[in-house]
A = this chain, B = another copy of it.
């Protein structure tokens, strides 16, 4: 098994407003016969709080991603391919793979820096897919819609969508946490000092802050989608969020999606963040707009579902 740990100094992330590192380490999986041929490339996007390096780690009883790929290739469930695991992590936990004045230009980093860099340095055949789970599924869907010339197929596992169900219910908890700390700045400062992370309602709070940093930046600052004093939703900000909801992006990008060779979407029917509803709404609207996609529901929740990659790699493999 070969996994190279690519170290890239990103130009587009230089001077990013959060002071996050411009040096990014990106694991690159190379298939058994490499470099004898030219290969398609999969970009596998991590979920919130994740980054590429975590995907290659072994855990108790679980396959690492490279082990999974070796098995899928050995059993001919997928063809040989290069798999790239980008690092678009930010101090708030994730960039949603978007450009934002508050976090940095992560979409550009991926599409304009990393993709060309891979093509220049590895034996690629010009065929690409993008896939991921949770926030990584969101990224796959959005990058696929926005860059149909670059990616030829996508797979979105349990991706963030229909923000009314997946984000809005966190707002009351986020408000409670932010108020408890005395405001947004103080919350972030406390967050960064604390040794302990993501316990209890903190997840709702940091997730809301991170999403605001991606969906509703105001210059280098963040516009929260609610009034911290009363808790009321700020409608104009919320509309900005919603304009990044895949369900709304569909209005503008149905045609782009149709340009892709393969679109795969799935979600567990017991998803804790209600993402199965989002997936159904997306799939139904996409079909109404004439998009062909493969949509699967499975009997599980949002956690520990990396076994679904068996399904998506097999699917995507047919189109690359």
A contact residues vs B (CB 8 Å cutoff): 49-51, 53-54, 57-62, 89, 93, 162, 164-165, 168-169, 171-173, 175-176, 195-197, 199, 229-233, 269-270, 274, 277-278, 280-281, 284, 300, 303-307
Task: Provide the residues of chain B in CB contact with A300, threshold 8 Å.
Answer: 196
Rounded to whole Å, the gap between the CB of A58 and the closest CB of chain B is 6
- Residue among B89, B164, B277 making CB contact with A230, cutoff 8 Å: B277
- Residue among B51, B168, B277, B281 making CB contact with A164, cutoff 8 Å: B168
Task: Provide the residues of chain B in CB contact with A54, threshold 8 Å.
Answer: 57-60
* Closest partner residue, chain B, to A275 (CB atom): B172
Rounded to whole Å, the gap between the CB of A162 and the closest CB of chain B is 8
Task: Provide the residues of chain B in CB contact with A195, threshold 8 Å.
Answer: 304, 306-307
Contact A53 B58 (CB under 8 A): yes
CA distance A133 to B169 in the complex (A): 23
CA distance A93 to B284 in the complex (A): 34
Contact B60 A49 (CB under 8 A): yes
Apart from A53-B58, A60-B93, A232-B281, list 13 A-B contacts with CB within 8 A: A54-B57, A54-B58, A61-B197, A164-B233, A168-B168, A195-B304, A195-B306, A196-B300, A196-B307, A229-B284, A230-B277, A231-B280, A232-B277
Name 18 interchain pairs, CB-CB below 8 A, sorted by A.
A49-B60, A54-B59, A60-B197, A61-B197, A164-B168, A165-B169, A165-B231, A168-B168, A169-B169, A175-B277, A195-B306, A196-B300, A196-B307, A197-B304, A199-B303, A230-B284, A231-B277, A232-B277
Task: Provide the residues of chain B in CB contact with A172, threshold 8 Å.
Answer: 165, 274, 277
Contact A171 B175 (CB under 8 A): no
CA distance A197 to B305 in the complex (A): 10
Contact B53 A230 (CB under 8 A): no
* Closest partner residue, chain B, to A60 (CB atom): B49
* Closest partner residue, chain B, to A277 (CB atom): B231
CA distance A232 to B277 in the complex (A): 8
- Residue among B51, B169, B232, B284 making CB contact with A60, cutoff 8 Å: B51
Rounded to whole Å, the gap between the CB of A101 and the closest CB of chain B is 23
Contact A304 B89 (CB under 8 A): no
* Closest partner residue, chain B, to A191 (CB atom): B61
Rounded to whole Å, the gap between the CB of A4 and the closest CB of chain B is 17
Contact B197 A62 (CB under 8 A): yes
Rounded to whole Å, the gap between the CB of A196 and the closest CB of chain B is 5
